[in-house]
Structure formats: structure tokens, C-alpha cells
Amino acid sequence: VNKTSSAVRLIHIPTNIVVSCQVERSQHQNREVAMRMLKSKLLEIKEREHLDKIEDIKGEQKEIGWGSQIRSYVFMPYTLVKDHRTGYEVGNINAVMDGEIDGFINAYLKQASLENK
């Protein structure tokens, strides 16, 4: 019985990934299978890097649950708007509902600048 050595080993030099194949009888077929395996490994690495980059961009996300709100609006029996991140409070709820939120923005920016120091 005649047997041929048709195993193929491919090395991707930039990433140092080694893929070998000896499933088929033909060296050409083994090379095609090894190339498909190498491409899939490179694609997997690229996808993993992309997901890591997306996670870095997103940053830390807090869980949404009870008590995780940013602001509380109390209409009755008294009027109050409180920012839970900064502790800033305003008693004029109608002004806040009309869009006057400069106090909240300034308080948040002030707190953020203090945290960055």
C-alpha cells in the first residue's frame, strides 16, 4: 500500500499562530482546510479585540434597580427636586419642569472636577 506524507503546517508570523492539518489525503486539500482553520482563528482574535475595545469605550455601567435613580421629583405634599448624585436640591419644581436645570448641571460638573483631582 502506497502512503503519502500530506500533512500541512501553516504559521501566521505576525501572531505566531500555528495550524496543522493531516485529515485529507491530498496536500492541497489539507492546505485548504488549514487555511480555513487559520482564518477562523484570526477572525476570532479580531472579534475579541473589537469586543474589548467596545467594553473600554462603554466603561463601567451601573445596575438599574430600586434606589439607583439620579433624581427624585416630589410634587405633593411639598415640592422638591433632589439630585442623588450631588445632593443638590431645588424647591421650585415648576422651574425645573420648565427646563431650568443649570443648578443641577453646575453641581454635577463641580463634583466631577473635585473627583478628578
Encode pLDDT of 20-65 as tens digits.
Answer: 999 888 899 999 999 999 999 999 999 999 999 998 888 777 777 7
Q: Write the CB contacts of 64 (distance below 8 Å, at least 6 apart in sequence).
A: none
Continuous H helices in the chain: 27-58, 93-97, 102-116
**pTM beyond 0.85:** no
Task: Reduce the DSSP state of residue 5 to 3 states and report it.
Answer: coil
Percent with pLDDT over 70 in the chain: 98
